[in-house]
Structures are given as C-alpha cells and as structure tokens.
Structure 1
Amino acid sequence: MSLRILITNDDGIDAPGIGVMAEIAQAISDDVWIVAPDGNQSGAGHRFSFGRELSFERHGERRFAVTGGSPADCVVAGMTHILGDRPADLVLSGVNAGQNLGDIVNCSGTAAGAREGVLQGAIGIAMSQSMDYEVTHKPDWSNATRFGADVVRAIVAAHSGDDVFYNVNFPFCAVDEVVGLTAVAHQRFSRSPIRYYPSDNDGHFFMAIPETPLPLDPEADFEVLRRGNAITVTPFALQQTHRGALERLGSIALKGQ
C-alpha cells in the first residue's frame, strides 16, 4: 500500500513551492492530498484559528484551500476530516520559498505544518529552498525538484517512531554542486533575530529580520547550508521539557513550607 501523503504550506495554495512539493510527493506515492491556506501565512507559526469559522475551497481533485486558515489549521482539517477514516502517514510542508534555519523555525508556518503532522500521528517533514537575498528574491527550485523525493525516502527509512519532525533546507547552488544530505543541529541564536523595523509611512513599522545574530556555530544548520552546499536536515523534538531544569525545580520549596 502506498504511503498516504498530506501536503500543506505557509505560502498559500497557489504558491509555486507547493507545486514542487506535489511533484516530490507524486514520485513517492499515488495517494497525495493537498490542504493549504488560501493565502500567505508566513510567520504564522503554530497558530490555530480558534473561535473563528473556516471554510474549504476545492481547487481540484484531492486539493483544498482553507479560507483564512493557518498551516496548522490545514493539517488538522486534512487529518481529522478530509482524509476520512485513513489519515496521512506522511505530512510534507512546503516547499517554502526561502530558508528556515536556526531559531526562525520557532515562528515558521512551514515548520508548524510538519510539527502538527507529527502531533496528529504522521511523520512530518518541512522543506525549504534557500535563497541568497543579496542576489535574488526569486527561488530556484532545481535542488528541491532534483533531490526532494530522495531526501524524503531517506528520512522515512531512518525514522524509527521518534517523537520529532524534520526540517530540511536545500542549498542555494547549482544542482551539480550539491554535496549530499547532512544531519545538523539547529542554530541557537544569541538573541531573537526578529526586530522592529521602521516603515517609510509615518507611525507604521514592520516585524523583520534585518541581520543575523552572531556568533554562528560552524557545525549548525545556518553555516553548514550557507558554506557547505549540503542539503541540511534537523530533527526537532516535540517533548520540550528541559530535564536539568526539571530536576532543579523539583528540589525547591516555597518559603515557610
């Protein structure tokens, strides 16, 4: 039986990257479904639209948009309703236009789609095509197209019921310059990279990432992707309890008790 695959993204149902992801999925399985936001949800993180009615728009066979919905909304709707009694075995989120690295993953709607897939019982893989923003803001999908299906197969084969989702980034380089798939830790920045950024319109501002906090770990995802021309994959644990802090807290008591 083929893997049942659910695709979502945070760039929207009509984004080019979701077409790339559909090609990747269809190279693996003939049971592919798409449930994605009707518009751009970049930076939405793991937001749910509680208390607000949502609706579906059919965009073709096994292809649905959720009006106003986040990537997490889409995965839940797909896994618990659209796919009926057989939810997906694999949730693929992306392919995002632009890299998702380091602590930026915490606010990524692409990452949230994969994370929610795991929470719903599937294997979850987020995929992003990196760009050099000093050169272009238009992604070249060649590496995602060429290597995407092989990357998914490799991760699924290595998966062993781990309580993780996987974050994949394709490098910004020629296809023949890609050196392979490298498993790396994520870059923990010295501070949040997200900052206030002033607008040219008086009284308005943006949330932006004007610069990368330094220093950077040469062995973590950010620098390995940028300098090494490797496809990077990072497993993110869903059990977030810090055991050391848990033990320290277990030994404290309120004053007077």
Structure 2
Amino acid sequence: MNILISNDDGYLAPGVVALANALRPIAEIVVVSPDSNRSGSSNSLTLDRPLSVYRAENGFYFINGTPSDCVHVALTGGLSFKPDLVVSGINQGQNMGDDTLYSGTVAAATEGFLFGIPAIAFSQVEKGWAHLDSAARIAREVVERQFTKLSKPYLLNVNIPNLPYEELKGIKATRLGKRHQSEPVIKMLDPHGREIFWIGPAGKEKDAGEGTDFNAVANGFVSITPLRIDLTHAEQLDALKESLL
C-alpha cells in the first residue's frame, strides 16, 4: 500500500512524526506537510505566489503553503504514483462538529478525497500530545481495517481521546455534533496603540447527544465520522426552483 501523509501542524510536529512511524511498517509512505503551523486554514489553496518544495533531514517533504497545497502539489506533480490512501494528522486538538469546516487537518484529507482517493483525518481530542503513542496505534489500526462496505472514495474524520490505549473503550461510528456560536473576538492594543483582534474561543457544545462525535470521545471512545462534500441544500432546491418561475 502507498500512503501520502500530510497535516496542518507542520512537518516538525510530533503528531505527523508519530503517524509516519506507525504506518511505515505496513506501507510505503511519503510525507508532504506545511513548513509551519497552518491550523484553521481550511481548504485554502495558495494562488497569489509560487510554492516551493523542500526535503528535511528525516526525509519528509515540506511546502511553504497550506495543507491543501501540500496534497494538491503532491498529487498533481510531486509524486510519480497515485497513493492508495491519503492520511492527515495526527492533529494536536480535536476536529469535531462545526470545527471540521475550518480544520486544515480535515482539509488535507479532503483534498485527497476530491482526487478520488480514500482519505482519513486523525486528531487527538486535547492539545499537548499526551498519549500520542496510543493515538498512533489507533491510527494504524484504522488504516489497516478494510472498509469494504463503504463506497470509494471515502472521507473519514477520526478523533481520539488522550488516553492510554488500554483505557480506550473502543471505536464508534458517529455523526458531527454542533456548537453554539463562537465567543466574541478578543480586543487588544498593539505596542503602537492600535486596536487588534484575536479570534475568540469556539462555542460550547450545542448538540452533543448520543451518536455524536462529542458524546463518543467524552465517554472514552474513538469517534469516526464519514464526511461528504456536497453542499447543495437539497430540501430547498425545489422551493428555489418554484421561486424562480
């Protein structure tokens, strides 16, 4: 199996190193990651400047762009083969509920999915890399599973509690939960007295009931959510057609 690995925390992040080490025994891997942390970059592509590809001492490739850039460049010009799987992560911090819209980790996997390749995004629920070895072990187990009942390509979003492997309760198939609105921006003054703004914290969970990703990880389970990209509001399509008559 040939696997393309990327992330949004950058090529030096412990998560991508752990993921590569976990998958190397079972696959031929190539790592193409951003040169620095690009969290929250979503599915953005860099169109206003050229991109450069570099190779690190550990063999990883890194690009001065977004996670989507990394996978896009790899698939359309950097690799001499089409990967069997695109894997992103392991991210430092959860990507659940509405957060998936902003996630660079999920975006890297999505870029592979858009090219017709099965893709999986992995994230740890809490920041700090606690029990990263456990998350890497889970990542390998998920990659090794044969999702024969899923239509290909598939796009899976996996969130792993920061627990020792032995304390994880298992794996659950989940749907995305929902959050309340984000907290207000944080206003400050820069050294010159000019007003600046920091994006505020994410909103609290609004829908975290049974069956959601929030509920699964809160109870010690690994959450796997199948995602799709079709943004068409099918329920409103007929109403829109009627309003145009």
Flag whether TM exceeds 0.5 (same fold): yes
Identity of aligned residues (%): 31
TM-score between the two structures when normalised by the length of structure 1: 0.87
**Worse-matched range after superposition: 122-131 or 243-252:** 243-252
Q: Which amino acid aligns with 1:66?
A: I
Partner SS for 1:52: coil
Judged with a 3 Å threshold, the aligned counterparts in structure 2 of structure 1 residues 7 and 194 are, in CA distance, closer, same or farther, namely farther
**Worse-matched range after superposition: 137-146 or 18-27:** 137-146
> Aligned-pair RMSD on alpha carbons?
2.0
Q: CA deviation at 1:20?
A: 1.1
Preserved CA contact (<8 Å) 2:113 2:119: yes
Q: CA deviation at 1:157?
A: 4.2
Alignment correspondent of 1:25: 23
Tell me, which stretches of 5 or more residues in structure 1 are unaligned? none
Q: CA deviation at 1:196?
A: 1.0
Q: Which amino acid aligns with 1:55?
A: S
Q: CA deviation at 1:23?
A: 1.8
Q: CA deviation at 1:200?
A: 6.5
Output the CA distance in 2 between the equivalents of 1:250 and 1:48: 33
Output the CA distance in 2 between the equivalents of 1:204 and 1:109: 24
Alignment correspondent of 1:209: 201
Partner SS for 1:41: coil
Q: CA deviation at 1:129?
A: 1.1
Number of residue equivalences: 242
Alignment correspondent of 1:188: 178
Q: CA deviation at 1:110?
A: 0.2
Give a deviation string over 1:10-32, Cα, whole Å, max 9, x none: 00011110111102321321x10
- Counterpart selection for 1:82 from 55, 59, 78: 78
Output the CA distance in 2 between the equivalents of 1:60 and 1:138: 23
Give a deviation string over 1:115-159, Cα, whole Å, max 9, x none: 00111121110000111x6xxx45330321222111122264443
Give a deviation string over 1:88-113, Cα, whole Å, max 9, x none: 11100110011111100100000000
Q: CA deviation at 1:51?
A: 2.4
Judged with a 3 Å threshold, the aligned counterparts in structure 2 of structure 1 residues 65 and 194 are, in CA distance, closer, same or farther, namely farther
Partner SS for 1:79: helix
Verify: 1:236 aligned to 2:232, yes or no. no
Judged with a 3 Å threshold, the aligned counterparts in structure 2 of structure 1 residues 155 and 45 are, in CA distance, closer, same or farther, namely farther
Alignment correspondent of 1:173: 163
TM-score between the two structures when normalised by the length of structure 2: 0.91
Give a deviation string over 1:16-67, Cα, whole Å, max 9, x none: 10111102321321x1001110001000000100121110111147521102
Alignment correspondent of 2:241: 250
Partner SS for 2:204: coil
